[in-house]
Amino acid sequence: MGKIAPYGFLIVFALLFIPVLNRAFFDFVYWLFGLSGVPSALASYGWDLFIFWR
């Protein structure tokens, strides 16, 4: 396990290119976000700031 640990982030990033895993991961992230009680408008505003060049 020690030899693969440095590549964990890259492996997760590569796995997110698989549509089924991507959907499951982000459904989980949005579910956690919903539990936090933060208004979804703030997430939209953050996204707009992130893609400022559009």
Q: Give residue-wise pLDDT tens across range 21-42.
A: 999 999 999 999 999 999 989 9
What is the DSSP secondary structure assignment for residue 16, as one 8-state letter? T
Q: Where are the domains of the chain?
A: 5-50
pLDDT, tens digit (0-9, with 9 covering 90-100), for 42-54: 989 998 999 988 8
Contact residues for 29 (Cβ-Cβ < 8 A; gap 6+): none
Residues in the chain: 54
| Environment class of 3 (CB within 10 Å of its CB; exposed 0-12, middle 13-18, buried 19+) | exposed
In contact, 32 and 42? CB cutoff 8 Å: no
pTM, to two decimals? 0.69
